[in-house]
């Protein structure tokens, strides 16, 4: 089985037709489904949150079989993720895509478990501490994209689970948990 670093690639990755958008509807649906699963799985294991269509992305080329996805195929696969709520375009031109390997509600749940598991109920933390602090090391929250984290925090704030307060800069934005 072929690997990309420590990531095991599926068998279809070595099948040249899967690097070309398939014209037959049933075949294309299967192709799109396989690529959606691959993109989400790879991004989750490698902690990748943004894919740029015009940037090098390891999954979009297979040098062993000398195949690469066209921009049309890349956009089709990412658009399929967007239509399922598993990604969002970050720009109108559909050049950068935010990958949601967990939906925002799921990130909010992960955050609540983190708070409860670490005894942070009624505590105050900065947003940066949640993203990069010692407490979050070894958790899915460590290294989380700031945009995703802020959306999960705002969802929890709306539900009355915490309060977000602004500092003098983005580095000192705080969160007061009340779970």
Say how far residue 147 (Cα) sits from the centre of its chain: 11
Could you tell me the residue ranges of all domains in the chain? 3-99, 104-177
**Cα 134 from Cα 117, distance rounded (Å):** 14
Which residue, 96, 76, 69, is CA-closest to 32? 76
pLDDT for 80: 98
Threshold 0.75, pTM exceeds: yes
Instruction: Label residues 120-143 b or e (16+ Cβ within 10 Å = b).
Output: beeeebbbeebbeeebbeebbbbe
Place of tokens 């294991």: 45
pLDDT digits (tens, 9 = 90+) for 108-150: 999 999 999 999 998 999 999 999 999 999 999 999 999 999 9
CATH placement of domain 3-99? 1.10.10.570
Mean pLDDT per segment of 10 residues, for the chain of length 179 residues?
A: 86 94 96 97 96 93 94 96 96 95 96 94 92 92 95 96 84 85
pLDDT for 98: 97
The domain defined by 104-177 folds into Arc Repressor Mutant, subunit A (1.10.10)
Hey, do 3-99 and 104-177 end up sharing a CATH topology, with the first three levels equal? yes
Q: Running DSSP on this structure, what letter comes out for residue 1? A: -
Which residue, 49, 23, 116, 45, is CA-closest to 31? 23
pLDDT for 171: 66
Helix (H/G/I), strand (E/B), else coil: 125:
strand
pLDDT for 170: 63
pLDDT for 88: 95
């Amino acid at each position: 089985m072929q690997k990309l670093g420590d990531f095991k690639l599926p068998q279809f990755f070595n099948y040249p037709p899967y690097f070309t958008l398939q014209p037959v509807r049933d075949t294309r649906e299967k192709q799109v489904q396989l690529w959606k699963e691959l993109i989400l799985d790879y991004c989750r294991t490698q902690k990748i949150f943004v894919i740029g269509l015009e940037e090098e992305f390891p999954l979009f080329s297979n040098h062993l079989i000398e195949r690469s996805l066209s921009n049309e195929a890349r956009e089709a696969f990412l658009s399929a993720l967007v239509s399922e709520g598993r990604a969002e375009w970050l720009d109108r031109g559909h050049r950068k895509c935010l990958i949601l390997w967990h939906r925002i509600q799921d990130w909010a749940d992960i955050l609540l478990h983190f708070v409860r598991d670490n005894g942070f109920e009624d505590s105050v933390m900065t947003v940066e501490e949640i993203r990069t602090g010692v407490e979050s090391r070894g958790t899915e929250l460590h290294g989380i994209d700031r945009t995703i984290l802020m959306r999960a925090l705002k969802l929890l704030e709306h539900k009355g689970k915490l309060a977000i307060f602004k500092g003098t800069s983005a580095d000192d934005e705080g969160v007061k948990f009340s779970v």
